[in-house]
Structure 1
């Protein structure tokens, strides 16, 4: 499992991977995955899984064949690490190489290290992280094109790498958090290259939000009580996330915005919990249903430091949990959707994002054990609670990306694509499962181990 957190320096191009099994002939397009792949300089290591330098991996599908290539994103952050042997930009949990004197008089620069996700704005492809600096790349060669160039009044220091496509309009929706004496969440929608402010939410103690939820009519910010006093960034001299504090007495806040006019239609609190990822959300009469991979607290953030992961720390587990926000009253009802842990969740996004749905897919832990990394794939029927599992000893799967079959007749009519690390073989491969039966269809190995990554995107090729 440790080689999932080791540096990959190789950049390769393989036109035709050996495929075991048989891929559906209709599977045509590309899967681009994002994640960290360099974890140290010659003199110093990054401290957290989220800090590694970004690398893209591209799997191409055509007529039953699979190609592969990988490439680092050519950013100022990578060049500093690779060419100068320095960490010059602040990361999630790693400070730049500065003296105490320099740290006091120099504000940390935003890190252009987009190692979390990939997205398209219609005609351009972007790699994203939690700072509002996206990196454009060529989807065929993975070559870096340049940095984002928004010229508007929506500025700030923190965003999410999980923008949503509005179900009814197709607009990209996201938020930018601007720190200040009174910080403010700025929710915006983007049409083509134009961004428009939709809503704002002032706050004295902003929380750490890795993602958010969207429905046909609403945007939902779930503010967990992992919060920060923005002044800490200037006076404490600590990496970004170490300025945040767990304040369970604040509870978890659900703020529901109307997508049309940006008004707040509900502002409710419930018991404290923490999450990185929302699964899905939808409107139901006078309620908003929000499904989340929920942890009891923010202990998981500390568990993902690299020294702990490499030493085999017990990993906190998230469980798929439903929160129903009453838009007419004061209550939030919650219940667990299944007894299997679920993280890095995916759904049939094109047809069910922001709408009532039945199936969620993700990674989990065999037997809900905490003494290993995520080592199984899970399918959850959110209506019945039934689960399906894929598990092989010594193999560690990543986020399963759902690809719908042409003219799909059911929500789970399609395949799942997951990059799986085989620790004994010392290399990774692409696993293809039938999403309905959860049985293996095919797999194709790549010539090296791919470090554990985060998120990816499949783009189909029109026939």
Structure 2
């Protein structure tokens, strides 16, 4: 086997089902964790990729598992639990009972038509605080409550309003002023609508309803102190296609580069909207940040030239060592509503995905540092194999890497009474391909050097997003 194939095969544990669940397992720690770091990192992501003899088709379709790394007094304990939803229970019976992102249920034609209108509760993308508790969320508007200490599933959270629609984002924002959660629900129809809302407790208050003939696939959006910014890429769907059986959700979307890219500004107080358009087609899963620069609006995101990354993240392709994954690069777009222009430039040639910032103080505001995962060779043929820190003011980057290791999203935790924007630590769950184990990595965010690591009792499948909760 070639050196390349060996390295690539090392990360396949990240796309392999994990059935082992443990509770409060004490982890061996190498190095020294800062004494002020007290709390827990909770991560969400897929961990079961089969139902009986049938496999899910896409990385995004795997069944959700929560992972908790509790840190206290320099020690770390680890707990992991499947999110026990109706979708998960169907897999225990050897069935795929809900339509997922790229997998249709294994049912008769009539049953498949019926289940197209059932929203999957497989909330496998993110975890957020909501209504004095914590919920797991995905791209359907179903929030699943869980106990933050035991990770036991506590049922679906019910909204007290009448907003409806089958699609949302798994990246709600906290309004920089009020703290309200901000998100949208997409309602399909002859004239589809992005319904942008602000949420307190479990009530979602409609801010604006933005009509669209061809809805785009939006995994996330950006927010400033004034606006929600929806970037509508030219990966769009004819809503009528969703009524026809035979194709899973995302395979109804089509790449239409001639449409360019639309930036929709929604005033979060008045509901007024404005749209600026660029002829440049692009695609992104994740926004980094957005803020006002005088009368202009700056939007930073991890941009791909097209949507081929979705096809590249089907499981059969991810598991093929010969098939590289397209890479994203941090890109800045400056919107000038007065001049009706959109201008873009790369912030660096380094690759970056799963971006995070010092969210507590820099969300929706001018900022300097972004953190994410990237590719050492910038080709994507050894998956995501390094952590990246980007100074968006200078374009200077720092990296952390270790041969055969594959890090996940770096979560920034600020130090008490921080002296700088990057005064704190980064927490990332890293797969060690050689040991076939994962570990919690603690980096100094300022120097980007390793402080400590704590090894889990097994390999943890590659997840998506998480949060740190202070004790």
Q: TM-score, normalised by structure 2?
A: 0.96
**Deviation string for 1:45-91 (max 9, x for gaps)?**
00000000000000111111111100001100000001x10001000
Taking the TM superposition and a 5 Å limit, the aligned residue runs for 1:95-114 are: 95-104=104-113, 107-114=116-123
1:201 corresponding residue in structure 2: 210
SS in 2 for 1:78: helix
- The 2-side partners of 1:53 and 1:286 are apart by 44
**Deviation string for 1:356-381 (max 9, x for gaps)?**
00000000000313211000000000
2:94 corresponding residue in structure 1: 85
Tell me the CA shift for residue 259 of structure 1.
1.5
**1:183 and 2:188 correspond:** no
SS in 1 for 2:112: helix
**Deviation string for 1:261-289 (max 9, x for gaps)?**
11014433341000000000001111110
- The 2-side partners of 1:390 and 1:316 are apart by 21
Tell me the CA shift for residue 330 of structure 1.
1.3
**1:239 and 2:248 correspond:** yes
Tell me the CA shift for residue 15 of structure 1.
4.1
SS in 2 for 1:367: coil
1:170 corresponding residue in structure 2: 179
Taking the TM superposition and a 5 Å limit, the aligned residue runs for 1:138-149 are: 138-149=147-158
Tell me the CA shift for residue 195 of structure 1.
1.4
SS in 2 for 1:9: coil
**Deviation string for 1:235-273 (max 9, x for gaps)?**
252000000000000001001111111101443334100
**1:248 and 2:290 correspond:** no
2:292 corresponding residue in structure 1: 283
- The 2-side partners of 1:359 and 1:409 are apart by 14
Tell me the CA shift for residue 42 of structure 1.
1.7
Tell me the CA shift for residue 194 of structure 1.
2.1
- Most deviating of 106-115 and 90-99: 106-115
2:27 corresponding residue in structure 1: 17
Asked if the contact 1:346/1:361 (under 8 Å) is kept, the reply is: yes
1:397 corresponding residue in structure 2: 407
Tell me the CA shift for residue 107 of structure 1.
3.6
Is there any run of 5+ residues in structure 2 with no aligned partner, and where?
A: 1-10
Asked if the contact 2:262/2:275 (under 8 Å) is kept, the reply is: no
**1:224 and 2:233 correspond:** yes
**1:115 and 2:124 correspond:** yes
**1:215 and 2:240 correspond:** no
Asked if the contact 1:236/1:243 (under 8 Å) is kept, the reply is: no
Taking the TM superposition and a 5 Å limit, the aligned residue runs for 1:202-351 are: 202-312=211-321, 313-351=323-361
Asked if the contact 1:345/1:361 (under 8 Å) is kept, the reply is: yes
Asked if the contact 1:89/1:108 (under 8 Å) is kept, the reply is: no
- The 2-side partners of 1:169 and 1:91 are apart by 34
- Most deviating of 98-107 and 201-210: 98-107
- The 2-side partners of 1:122 and 1:181 are apart by 34
- The 1-side partners of 2:110 and 2:155 are apart by 33
Q: When the two structures are aligned, how many residues end up with a matched partner? A: 460
Q: TM-score, normalised by structure 1?
A: 0.98
Change (3 A) 1:140 1:356: same
SS in 1 for 2:54: coil
Taking the TM superposition and a 5 Å limit, the aligned residue runs for 1:394-433 are: 394-433=404-443
Is there any run of 5+ residues in structure 1 with no aligned partner, and where?
A: none
Tell me the CA shift for residue 298 of structure 1.
0.1
Asked if the contact 2:14/2:460 (under 8 Å) is kept, the reply is: yes
- The 2-side partners of 1:8 and 1:106 are apart by 27
Asked if the contact 2:99/2:115 (under 8 Å) is kept, the reply is: no
- The 1-side partners of 2:400 and 2:114 are apart by 52
1:72 corresponding residue in structure 2: 82
Tell me the CA shift for residue 14 of structure 1.
3.4
- The 1-side partners of 2:170 and 2:451 are apart by 31
- The 2-side partners of 1:303 and 1:355 are apart by 34
